[in-house]
Amino acid sequence: MAKRIVGSTPKKDGFRMPGEFEPQSRIYMIWPKRPDNWRDNAYPAQRAYAKVAQAVSEFTPVTMLADFDQFEKAKDMLSDKIKVVEMSSDDAWCRDCGPSFLVNDKGELRACDWEFNAWGGYVDGLYSPWDADDAIAEKICDLEGADSYRTKGFVLEGGSIHVDGEGTVLTTKMCLMSDGRNPHMEQGEIEDMLCEYLNCEKVLWLEDGIDPDETNGHVDDVACFVRPGEVACIYTEDEKSPFYEVAQANYKALCNMSDAKGRRLKVHKVCVPRENVLLTGADTIVKVSGSAPRHDGDLCIASYLNFLITNDGVVVPQYGDENDELAIEQIKGIFPDKKVVGVKTIEVVYGGGNIHCITQQVPKI
């Protein structure tokens, strides 16, 4: 049985988090169902998740975790290629509540099991309770037979960090320094924690993300490592874009950063959608206490950067926007050896995230 490791850290034990572009054995996802987050009792979102799972499964095996009540529906809506396993959850964001897997040089698998508090706990979290989500990482580790490091008292979501697998972490102050995460810790203490648990030497801090409200500015909407020494970053020159200022600031910041190995970063531009995505059909989202309310016209965080790199493929959000094709072409240029496929995920965006947010990779060992 997978164990919780007490009294040590990944760095002490020689485990590191690999880059997303390193080989993967499996992708985990969580089946959506919350009627207070998803439109129309989550059915349109479920179709979108099924399409994402199908696209990912062309490159990497996929396990979909589904609540007891949703299990048969998930099986019905997913193709035979997708493995469905019963697991309780509060919502459906495996990037954020799932484990951050680690490897060592001997080909062993472990994971960080970060404390999860629904993106801010009682300060500005999105729902309560979140205990089922917080237990997901441990259960995935059990399924994978991976011992884990539980960071009791340290809150982190997988979507708030990216690593290059060679000693560098990329994150945002907007999220990691927010009041709903670890307000008892100074920036330097958070750096120490990231470096100790991801086995890194350098933390690259961006100021802001483009999603201040829901994720408090997760980095995975704005920038990611595409290989060691190279990052992709959202970029627009359209001052009317709600993401203009953050995109410009982050692009410039990244161009002036160097990684843990001392390499000046090469920064690839990824466009943003031409049109804003605004929530519609909010009246089909159930209102309950304990969950953040949703309104027609809410700005949805539609970023092409929230793609998943998975073995020989990259699975990229599409919105029916004029820039969809440009985004695909740019990402093809960044990954000339991978197959780049688009999946229309506007229903996932309505729920607050995208392809990267709803997936979590297990490295191949």
Give the span between the Cα atoms of 230 and 264, in whole angstroms.
9
Report yes or no: 100 and 18 within 8 Å, Cβ to Cβ: no
Report yes or no: 295 and 282 within 8 Å, Cβ to Cβ: yes
Give the span between the Cα atoms of 176 and 26, in whole angstroms.
28
Q: Which residue, 138 or 298, is less far from a copy of itself as judged by CB?
A: 138
For the bound state, the minimum distance from the C-beta of residue 133 to a copy of itself, rounded and expressed in Å, comes to 12
Residue 109 in the binding site for a copy of itself (CB under 8 A): no
Q: Which residue, 76 or 238, is less far from a copy of itself as judged by CB?
A: 76
Residue 115 in the binding site for a copy of itself (CB under 8 A): no
Residue 139 in the binding site for a copy of itself (CB under 8 A): yes
- Helix residue ranges, H only, the chain: 10-13, 43-57, 71-77, 94-97, 121-124, 131-144, 173-176, 187-198, 244-255, 324-334, 346-351
Q: State which amino acid sits at residue 265.
A: L
Q: Which residue, 51 or 83, is less far from a copy of itself as judged by CB?
A: 83
Q: Per DSSP, what are the bridge partners of residue 227?
A: 230
Q: Which residues contact 240 (CB under 8 A, 6 or more apart)?
A: none
Q: Which of 200, 233, 300, 357 is catalytic?
A: 357
Q: State which amino acid sits at residue 249.
A: A
Q: Which residue, 139 or 202, is less far from a copy of itself as judged by CB?
A: 139
Give the span between the Cα atoms of 157 and 278, in whole angstroms.
25
Residue 7 in the binding site for a copy of itself (CB under 8 A): no
Q: State which amino acid sits at residue 334.
A: I
In angstroms, what CA-CA distances link 222 with 37, 166, 170, 207?
Answer: 23, 21, 11, 11
* Among 132-140, 199-207, 218-226, 283-291, the segment contacting a copy of itself (CB under 8 A): 132-140
Residue 364 in the binding site for a copy of itself (CB under 8 A): no
Residue 143 in the binding site for a copy of itself (CB under 8 A): yes
For the bound state, the minimum distance from the C-beta of residue 87 to a copy of itself, rounded and expressed in Å, comes to 5
Residue 1 in the binding site for a copy of itself (CB under 8 A): yes
Q: Is 84 strand, coil or helix?
A: strand
Q: Is 299 strand, coil or helix?
A: strand
Q: Segment 59-98, which members bind a copy of itself (CB under 8 A)? A: 68, 71-72, 75, 78-88
Residue 362 in the binding site for a copy of itself (CB under 8 A): no
For the bound state, the minimum distance from the C-beta of residue 61 to a copy of itself, rounded and expressed in Å, comes to 9
Establish whether 255 is a catalytic residue: no
User: Residues 14, 17, 23, 24: what is their CA dihedral angle, to the nearest 10 degrees?
Assistant: 110
Residue 3 in the binding site for a copy of itself (CB under 8 A): yes
Give the span between the Cα atoms of 288 and 269, in whole angstroms.
40
Q: Which residue, 71 or 244, is less far from a copy of itself as judged by CB?
A: 71
For the bound state, the minimum distance from the C-beta of residue 139 to a copy of itself, rounded and expressed in Å, comes to 6
For the bound state, the minimum distance from the C-beta of residue 3 to a copy of itself, rounded and expressed in Å, comes to 6
Q: Which residue, 76 or 283, is less far from a copy of itself as judged by CB?
A: 76
- Judged by CB under 8 A, how many residues of this single chain contact a copy of itself? 23
Q: Segment 270-329, which members bind a copy of itself (CB under 8 A)? A: none
Q: Binding a copy of itself by CB under 8 A: which of 76, 142, 201, 283?
A: 142
Give the span between the Cα atoms of 182 and 154, in whole angstroms.
6
The residues that touch a copy of itself, with contacts defined as CB under 8 A, are 1, 3, 68, 71-72, 75, 78-88, 132, 135, 139, 142-143, 145
* Catalytic positions, written as ranges: 357
